[in-house]
Structure 1
Amino acid sequence: MTSAYINRIATAVPPHKVHGAFVEFAVQMLKDDRMRTLFQRMSARSGIDDRYSGLSVVQPPPQGVVDAYDFYLGDGFPSTAKRMKMFERFAPTLLRSALDKLALTAEEKAGIRHVLVTCCTGLYAPGLDFEAIDYLGLSPSVERTMIGFMGCYAAINALKQARHIVRSEPGDSVLIINLELCTLHFQETQNLNEVLSFLVFGDGCSVSLISGKEEGFALDSFHALQVDGTRDLITWNVRDLGFDMLLSGRVPGEIGKALREHGHILTGGDAIDLWAVHPGGRSVLDAVEEGLDLSSSVLASSRSILKRFGNMSSATVMFVLEELMKSAKAGQSGCAMSFGPGLTAETMRFHVV
């Protein structure tokens, strides 16, 4: 049976750095002195230097640029409708930037018969699948699939579907788009856990080409692990003032416990050369290291992505895979892993060809 391969990955982020400004803003927003002190201490230990947004925090913003302070404070915190208008404005530009970096040849474009999109931070139709088809000049008969509202592990599920497609249609190539604008969903709150959730999320987009061509990373197998008794630890709901997230502080501990008990199933008991772990936060990566008994250097790529970009939901693990692809050597084995609602770990075994 034909195998499927990630031939190439390209990534992009919006132009505006917002992490430092958010920390300052959140400190001002929190009224309780004790909460403020705790937030400052935990933000300093977050492992994040930069996050990016389509919203500008430069005062005054350049002409034509959306001012984050006006967006969130001009008339109070914005409605879901206003946030979705910004998604429709920012998302196509970010997508085109990533597609330009993927640099598809005319032959590669002609071979793309499927477009898969993952996103949990914005919705409109015709959507990003049509944006990509029009921008690249793909055939109007290309098959389109939206993998929506699955959170941070959606990219693994998209790769799983791409593998099924290529194995059943060996001549077809698949374009995967993972695009998230997490910073559009900042909420006004005095709940420290909620503020800490907003601390880690940024905007980003990854695009990748998957085909039967023996180049890049071969997609070997997939495994999903649902952790019992954790359904309420990560939730993501559409409300009147945007999308509301709950990210419990229990998540890292439950991840570590599950990996200690079931890690051998996820890895097949094999030695792994390359680890592409979704950097949901510094404590999540610490929990993976402890749960799988990994050395501190193994997750260097994941920590680097967290430091430079934060958590970009579904796009983030693809940023890590792109980083690994730059120096991977033929024959190396790898494991990609993302976490999200359920609480679920989605994993993918791969090797370098």
Structure 2
Amino acid sequence: MSPAASKNGHFPLTLSVKLKYVKLGYHYLVTNSVYLLLIPLAAVILTNLSTANLLLDLCTKNSAILTVTSISLALIATVHVMRSPRKVYLLDFACYKPFPGNLCSKETHMRVSSATGRFTAESLDFQRKILERSGYGQKMHAPAGLMATPPDQSMAAAREETEAAMFGAIDDLLDKSRVEAREIGVLVVNSSTFNPTPSLSAAIVNHYKLRGNVLSFNLGGMGCSAGLIAVDLAKRLLQVHPHTYALVVSTENICRNWYLGNHRPMLVSNCLFRVGASAVLLTNRRSERRRSKYQLLHTVRTHKGADDRSYRCVFQEEDQHNIVGVSLSKDLMAIAGEALKTNITTLGPFVLPMSEQLLFLATLVARKVFQVKKIEPYIPDFKMAFEHFCVHAGGRSVLDEVEKSLGLTEWHMEPSRMTLYRFGNTSSSSLWYELAYSEAKGRVMRGDRVWQIGFGSGFKCNSAVWRALRDIGLEEKNSWDGEIDEFPVHVPRVAPIVY
């Protein structure tokens, strides 16, 4: 036995573990402070029970007082119910899983890129290094148009890719939810860089023969965070249009936007984005609460577009040879961190327990009012507010930064990292592959809170907060079926490539 061990054979608690229990004790004390304060109040009431009986007897004998009191309480309750926004429920969701024929390993990516004859040896080597350090596996999916020889980037191929992804996700969703397409009253579709005419939302209306008065919206150019923008828009519409369903579809097109130049900041997106789509069914019908999965609690949107550096950090433009591509700035991670900080500052008061808010306020006052510079800024512990985290799988560096900034564990980041490994960056739909991962692992229990965090061009950081209304059973079908037991896998941590 080590000399550090105690006589009973147990090792003493380290300082960090002791502080952890102190903090938990403080958290439970503050959280239950209302109940603790009620104890002396109850004691006072019990000691003055005769006075309370006298007041009750007075109200009972005086019918006028009783009537006025009852009417007043009824009016207050009615006004409160009428002014409260309609609750929005997530009935179900589905993620598109392409056919095995569309699998694109790292070697396949390099073969396709080399076969174009458009990339220099230096550019091919750069792409190879990006893939090696990306955190990607070997089972991601690419569109059929790009897998062809030579690659087909036509409008027809792009439509085929996007419609296959959207319709595949919607078909699965309608099958699982047992909702008829004509019952859908709101449709919101988001695709950043592929916006044909007629729109993608019109393609869905046509394919599923949605009713003529459906409220249809098509969001373009809003980047990887547009999925949560679409959810926020659908929520606002459901709060003013009663007794209906809202379908939110998120996707991105790869085929049409494959960059065929040699400008490194534009080559990165070729290596990152892969095929994916999600379909989410929301409703404001109270009768659907019983079979819904989640209730939407909060949506918070942060837009940093007023700052020029943020505005241009993800930018679609021509390179020096007039070849169109999406350029990713070297400042992207710093800008994403600033946007996340602004977003959580807004979201914090809605979700953090009072114990965390008091600690944050105390350190803020000490630093700003009393000028105590030795005190570090307090980063609230969001693990006390949420059980599950879905961080946009935009890239390994993004996930590393968020994990560090929020003090999350490997378990909390597992859905995001495994989604990146298995499906790659599927843009705005990635958050739903991550939630599907947690469900497939049997981790989502009734009452659990889920935080979805999306980043996108503009620059934007958006959040959505959900509460599980029931346990999510392992038997429920989703995009991880047949392979969830293979995960998690170990993904080596390597330094990102500098370009």
TM tier, smaller: 0.7 to 0.9
Counterparts of 1:41-190 in structure 2, within 5 Å, are 41-49=129-137, 50-55=139-144, 67-71=147-151, 82=154, 84-102=155-173, 103=175, 107-190=179-262
Match 2:276 to one of 179, 204, 207: 204
Match 2:331 to one of 250, 255, 262: 250
Equivalent AA in structure 2 for residue 131 of structure 1: A
SS in 1 for 2:150: helix
- CA distance in 1 between counterparts of 2:110 and 2:418 reads 20
- CA distance in 1 between counterparts of 2:114 and 2:177 reads 48
Instruction: Determine if contact 2:145/2:157 at 8 Å carries over to the other structure.
Output: no
Q: Deviations along 1:251-285, whole A, 9 cap, x unmatched?
A: 12332355457634334462221111111101011
CA shift in 2, pair 1:104/1:110, >3 Å: farther
Offset at residue 114 of structure 1 (A): 1.2
Offset at residue 71 of structure 1 (A): 2.3
Instruction: Determine if contact 2:110/2:124 at 8 Å carries over to the other structure.
Output: no
Instruction: Using the TM superposition, name which of 47-56 and 208-217 deviates more.
Output: 47-56
- CA distance in 2 between counterparts of 1:319 and 1:216 reads 15
Instruction: Determine if contact 1:155/1:315 at 8 Å carries over to the other structure.
Output: yes
CA shift in 2, pair 1:3/1:176, >3 Å: same
Q: Deviations along 1:211-231, whole A, 9 cap, x unmatched?
A: 023221211112122344421
SS in 2 for 1:161: helix
CA shift in 2, pair 1:129/1:225, >3 Å: closer
CA shift in 2, pair 1:287/1:24, >3 Å: farther
Counterparts of 1:160-309 in structure 2, within 5 Å, are 160-212=232-284, 213-214=288-289, 215-227=292-304, 228=307, 229-237=309-317, 244-259=325-340, 263-268=344-349, 270=352, 271-309=385-423
- CA distance in 2 between counterparts of 1:37 and 1:286 reads 24
Offset at residue 287 of structure 1 (A): 0.9
CA shift in 2, pair 1:260/1:329, >3 Å: same
SS in 2 for 1:71: coil
- CA distance in 1 between counterparts of 2:282 and 2:318 reads 32
Match of 1:342 in 2: 458
Instruction: Using the TM superposition, name which of 291-300 and 48-57 deviates more.
Output: 48-57
Match of 2:10 in 1: none
CA shift in 2, pair 1:165/1:204, >3 Å: same
How well do the aligned residues superpose, as a CA RMSD in angstroms?
A: 2.8
Question: Number of paired residues?
Answer: 334
Offset at residue 346 of structure 1 (A): 1.0
Instruction: Determine if contact 2:249/2:280 at 8 Å carries over to the other structure.
Output: yes
Offset at residue 116 of structure 1 (A): 1.0
Note if 1:6 corresponds to 2:90.
yes
Match 1:18 to one of 86, 97, 104: 104
Instruction: Determine if contact 1:182/1:312 at 8 Å carries over to the other structure.
Output: no
Instruction: Determine if contact 2:158/2:255 at 8 Å carries over to the other structure.
Output: no
Equivalent AA in structure 1 for residue 110 of structure 2: V
Question: TM-score normalised to the size of structure 2?
Answer: 0.61
Instruction: Determine if contact 2:119/2:260 at 8 Å carries over to the other structure.
Output: no
Higher Rg: 2
Equivalent AA in structure 2 for residue 244 of structure 1: G
- CA distance in 2 between counterparts of 1:121 and 1:261 reads 26
- CA distance in 1 between counterparts of 2:213 and 2:198 reads 15
Offset at residue 56 of structure 1 (A): 5.9
Equivalent AA in structure 2 for residue 155 of structure 1: G
- CA distance in 2 between counterparts of 1:113 and 1:143 reads 6
- CA distance in 2 between counterparts of 1:319 and 1:55 reads 21
Match of 1:317 in 2: 431
Equivalent AA in structure 1 for residue 446 of structure 2: A
Equivalent AA in structure 1 for residue 425 of structure 2: N
Match of 2:19 in 1: none
CA shift in 2, pair 1:19/1:267, >3 Å: farther
Higher RCO, Cα 8 Å, sep 6+: 1
Equivalent AA in structure 1 for residue 299 of structure 2: F
- CA distance in 2 between counterparts of 1:290 and 1:177 reads 31
Spell out structure 1 runs of 4+ moving beyond 4 A: 24-30, 35-39, 104-108, 237-243
CA shift in 2, pair 1:191/1:10, >3 Å: same
CA shift in 2, pair 1:94/1:32, >3 Å: closer
- CA distance in 2 between counterparts of 1:221 and 1:258 reads 18
CA shift in 2, pair 1:232/1:127, >3 Å: closer
Answer 1 or 2: which has greater helix percent: 2
Instruction: Determine if contact 2:229/2:301 at 8 Å carries over to the other structure.
Output: no
Instruction: Using the TM superposition, name which of 325-334 and 134-143 deviates more.
Output: 134-143
Offset at residue 88 of structure 1 (A): 2.0
Where does structure 2 lack aligned partners over 5 or more consecutive residues?
Answer: 1-84, 353-384, 470-499
Question: TM-score normalised to the size of structure 1?
Answer: 0.84
- CA distance in 2 between counterparts of 1:36 and 1:138 reads 46
Where does structure 1 lack aligned partners over 5 or more consecutive residues?
Answer: 58-66, 73-77
- CA distance in 2 between counterparts of 1:336 and 1:101 reads 22
